[in-house]
Chains A and B, each alone.
Chain A
Amino acid sequence: MSALNVIVSNIELVADGIRHFTFIAADGGELPGFSGGSHVVVSMPAGNRTYRNAYSLLSSPADRSNYQIAVRLQEQSRGGSRFMHEQVKVGTRLDISWPVNLFPISRVGHQHILVAGGIGITPFMSQVHDLLRTGAGFELHYAFRSPRHAGFIDQLKQLLGNKLVCHDQSQGQILDLHALLSRQPLGTHVYVCGPDGMVDALIATAHELGWPDAHIHNEEFLAPPVGEPFTIRLRQSQKNVDVGAEVSMLEAMEAAGVDVPYLCRGGACGRCELEVLATDGVIEHHDHYLSDAEKGAGKKIMPCVSRAKCSFIELNL
């Protein structure tokens, strides 16, 4: 998977604990285009491990001169948000993935309700540009604890006018999901990003009101299949290959000079299937190829995306 090499060109504090980063292409050229709702996965080399976190792109998809992300310092940070807040400076070089969109606006919808809670505003920042451009009907409902937690509020007010509805909890303005969803015309799409409780409440309310699943959207990130390090024992070639936490089994075997067949590297084609002879742990299947029964049996593995939680796994190779 090819990465994009970028340089941090600007950092701003936009709300309590939220930093806003601007990236430009390291080669000085244009970055790839993207669609509203897209995210990138930022690789953060911290000591001998690499964190990979997904962040929504905030800028207008029409502007390919830079990408922007916002990072909130997580209280229980595994390291990623802390790294972004403490280690990354203007001029830092980073590798990011190509944009991926798992939270797109439905292009067949005519009316869209966007519901953001706090830092959950981020995927909507690019979506509103697309919606303004295509002229689809929409409202953005932005709920936040207080004005100092409301990142990008001035920018949004200027861009959206009365399409933006703020719900400032410090002023006692509570977003009434039931009322909001009840008054929408048939065929409206709703999109939510925010704390788990808000997302769950919105989905439950929409279901209660009879909204079809295809009209209820919540953001999902593509979780890179990473895990704990372990060792592959190759029975036929009598080799041991160490798999680091951040690399796939296929990549680790390739790096060790083992010839493993592959095609799609995405867990779909079945070409890299290998026979599992033994393991002292459990296989974590991430592929779309093996049936549930095969996954349960634990005799096969697709090393391009799957791995194991174990100290060793022995393969017939």
Chain B
Amino acid sequence: MNNLAYKHETFRDDYTYRNSPDAIRRFPFPFAEDHYMYSVNIEQHQPGAKGSIVEHAFDIDEHYVSECEDKLITLGQDKGRYAALPHMMDAQWDFLELSMESLSRDYPHLFTLTKDGERWTWRNGPLGIEDSFVFGDAATLPLEPFEYMGRQVQGDFVLLDQREGTLFADAGFITSQADWSLAFDVGMSWHEWHGPVPQVEKMGIMDRALKFLMSLQQGNPVRRLNWTMTINPRLDTSPEHFPEWGPDKLKVTAQNAGEKAHLRVELQTMFRLPRSNAILFSIRCYLISLEELATYPRWAKRFHRVLRDLHPDLLEYKGIKVYHEAVLAWLSQHDDGAELALGAHPE
């Protein structure tokens, strides 16, 4: 996307967030088949098709400015959305370097980075930020390096320290989480923070995914898609703010589901970081209303079938159960039962 017309929109209160036809077309619809169950759906994070969400290391889209503004609102209400344990300072600089180098390389008309030895100057056009600092000296930045760049890249970020045969979530910048808490999870090991996920233990998926991530190598980042649903286009669906968004689940009807119910897809990318040997886990959230989704009929049909046949444990875990009937009723109008070819493409 070369000429982004940034939209002024909200992810709370009046919820003016909408997707343009372009944004709908590039939406990362995650279902290639009519049935869904967890799998280790990891692939290499190599540059994808031009204009797609995986064209670049980090995707910047038409929601960039509004999403960064929403991050600041959430952070202002709750400082605990950013946390970094003291031993993660090298990983913080790794994150700053990776994000600045990627954005300035992939979107040179929006972001520039100039280096004069350790003296770096960063310019962020869309947000109107310009700072010079000494790489490695946190006192020369207005914020800690991880928080500084976490505010300027869409998505959430976790830095994982690798030790004792597992991974520890020892730093995070989390303002658009699908109902999990950084304050609760920070410092936890892999198996501790995945404890609540149903149906995976017996499949051994978490063990396999952990082994795979522990051998993740620099220069070979990987990605996967995950999904859930959210009522209203809200990024901050945190347990801390449940009273602000939880009750909306009860207001979904077969009539308003098309507008209220959103498919929430996370593009999760994982990078091995150089100085710290930590892993960056980035979670980039894409929201689309059922109405927007249904502009491509095969997506509406397929999503109807996936939701209809989803395992009850997953309906419960993803918090869909309470409005499941209403959403199915809305989607069923768009499903004529025709057989769909494999693949998640829109047309």
Q: Which residues of A contact B (CB under 8 A)?
A: 1-2, 32-35, 38, 61, 97-101, 104, 106-108, 134, 214, 222, 263-270, 288-289, 291
B209 at the interface (CB under 8 A from A): yes
Asked if A265 and B219 make an inter-chain contact with CB atoms under 8 angstroms apart, the answer reads no
The interface residues of chain B lying within 8 Å CB-to-CB of A265 are 44
Asked if B208 and A98 make an inter-chain contact with CB atoms under 8 angstroms apart, the answer reads no
Check A268/B42 contact, CB under 8 A, given A32-B219, A104-B163, A108-B87. Answer: yes
Asked if A288 and B275 make an inter-chain contact with CB atoms under 8 angstroms apart, the answer reads no
Please give me the residue from chain B that is nearest to A268 by CB atom: B212
Asked if A291 and B163 make an inter-chain contact with CB atoms under 8 angstroms apart, the answer reads no
Asked if A34 and B163 make an inter-chain contact with CB atoms under 8 angstroms apart, the answer reads no
Asked if A2 and B211 make an inter-chain contact with CB atoms under 8 angstroms apart, the answer reads no
Asked if B161 and A107 make an inter-chain contact with CB atoms under 8 angstroms apart, the answer reads yes
Asked if B220 and A2 make an inter-chain contact with CB atoms under 8 angstroms apart, the answer reads yes
Please give me the residue from chain A that is nearest to B207 by CB atom: A288
B275 touches which of A2, A35, A267, A268 (Cβ 8 Å):
A35
Given contacts A33-B274, A266-B212, A289-B40, 15 further A-B contacts (CB under 8 A): A33-B275, A34-B218, A34-B275, A99-B274, A104-B162, A108-B87, A108-B161, A214-B163, A222-B215, A263-B41, A263-B44, A264-B44, A266-B215, A288-B207, A291-B204
Asked if B222 and A264 make an inter-chain contact with CB atoms under 8 angstroms apart, the answer reads yes
The interface residues of chain A lying within 8 Å CB-to-CB of B161 are 107-108
B258-299 Cβ-contact flags toward A at 8 Å (1 or 0): 000000000000000011110000000000000000000000
The interface residues of chain B lying within 8 Å CB-to-CB of A269 are 39-43, 212
Q: Which residues of B contact A (CB under 8 A)?
A: 39-44, 87-88, 90, 94, 97, 161-165, 204, 207-209, 211-212, 215, 217-220, 222, 274-277
Asked if A263 and B220 make an inter-chain contact with CB atoms under 8 angstroms apart, the answer reads no
Q: With the chains together, A254 CA to B211 CA distance in Å?
A: 26
The interface residues of chain B lying within 8 Å CB-to-CB of A263 are 41-44
The interface residues of chain B lying within 8 Å CB-to-CB of A98 are 217-220
Q: With the chains together, A61 CA to B218 CA distance in Å?
A: 14
Check A32/B43 contact, CB under 8 A, given A98-B219, A107-B163. Answer: no
Interface of A is mostly: loop
Asked if A264 and B42 make an inter-chain contact with CB atoms under 8 angstroms apart, the answer reads yes
Please give me the residue from chain A that is nearest to B211 by CB atom: A288
20 contacts between A and B (CB under 8 A): A32-B219, A33-B97, A34-B218, A61-B275, A97-B217, A98-B217, A98-B219, A104-B277, A107-B88, A108-B161, A214-B165, A264-B222, A265-B44, A268-B208, A268-B211, A268-B212, A269-B39, A269-B42, A269-B43, A288-B207
Q: With the chains together, A100 CA to B207 CA distance in Å?
A: 21
Q: With the chains together, A45 CA to B161 CA distance in Å?
A: 36
A32 touches which of B41, B88, B165, B218 (Cβ 8 Å):
B218
Asked if B163 and A100 make an inter-chain contact with CB atoms under 8 angstroms apart, the answer reads no
Q: With the chains together, A214 CA to B162 CA distance in Å?
A: 12
The interface residues of chain A lying within 8 Å CB-to-CB of B217 are 1, 97-98, 100
Interchain nearest-CB distance for B54 vs A (Å): 14
Q: With the chains together, A99 CA to B218 CA distance in Å?
A: 7
The interface residues of chain B lying within 8 Å CB-to-CB of A34 are 218, 274-275
The interface residues of chain A lying within 8 Å CB-to-CB of B43 are 263-264, 269
Please give me the residue from chain B that is nearest to A2 by CB atom: B219
Q: Which of A97, A104, A107, A267 has the most CB of B within 10 A?
A: A107
Q: With the chains together, A222 CA to B165 CA distance in Å?
A: 15
B276 touches which of A1, A35, A99, A106 (Cβ 8 Å):
A35
A106 touches which of B163, B207, B218 (Cβ 8 Å):
B163
Asked if B275 and A270 make an inter-chain contact with CB atoms under 8 angstroms apart, the answer reads no
Please give me the residue from chain B that is nearest to A1 by CB atom: B220
Asked if A35 and B274 make an inter-chain contact with CB atoms under 8 angstroms apart, the answer reads yes
Please give me the residue from chain B that is nearest to A289 by CB atom: B208
The interface residues of chain B lying within 8 Å CB-to-CB of A266 are 212, 215
The interface residues of chain B lying within 8 Å CB-to-CB of A35 are 90, 274-277
The interface residues of chain B lying within 8 Å CB-to-CB of A264 are 40, 42-44, 212, 222
Asked if B164 and A214 make an inter-chain contact with CB atoms under 8 angstroms apart, the answer reads yes
The interface residues of chain B lying within 8 Å CB-to-CB of A108 are 87, 161, 163
Q: With the chains together, A112 CA to B275 CA distance in Å?
A: 19
B87 touches which of A2, A38, A97, A107 (Cβ 8 Å):
A107
Please give me the residue from chain B that is nearest to A290 by CB atom: B208
The interface residues of chain A lying within 8 Å CB-to-CB of B41 are 263, 269
Interchain nearest-CB distance for A307 vs B (Å): 18
Check A32/B274 contact, CB under 8 A, given A98-B217, A104-B162, A269-B42. Answer: yes
Interchain nearest-CB distance for A3 vs B (Å): 9
Interchain nearest-CB distance for A213 vs B (Å): 8
B209 touches which of A134, A267, A268 (Cβ 8 Å):
A268
The interface residues of chain B lying within 8 Å CB-to-CB of A97 are 217
The interface residues of chain A lying within 8 Å CB-to-CB of B211 are 268, 288
Q: Which of B163, B207, B276 has the most CB of A within 10 A?
A: B163
Please give me the residue from chain B that is nearest to A108 by CB atom: B87
The interface residues of chain B lying within 8 Å CB-to-CB of A1 are 217, 220
Interchain nearest-CB distance for A299 vs B (Å): 18
Interchain nearest-CB distance for A288 vs B (Å): 4
The interface residues of chain B lying within 8 Å CB-to-CB of A107 are 87-88, 90, 161, 163, 276
Interchain nearest-CB distance for B91 vs A (Å): 9
Q: With the chains together, A75 CA to B292 CA distance in Å?
A: 69
Please give me the residue from chain B that is nearest to A213 by CB atom: B164
Please give me the residue from chain A that is nearest to B88 by CB atom: A107
Interchain nearest-CB distance for A13 vs B (Å): 30
A270 touches which of B40, B94, B165 (Cβ 8 Å):
B40
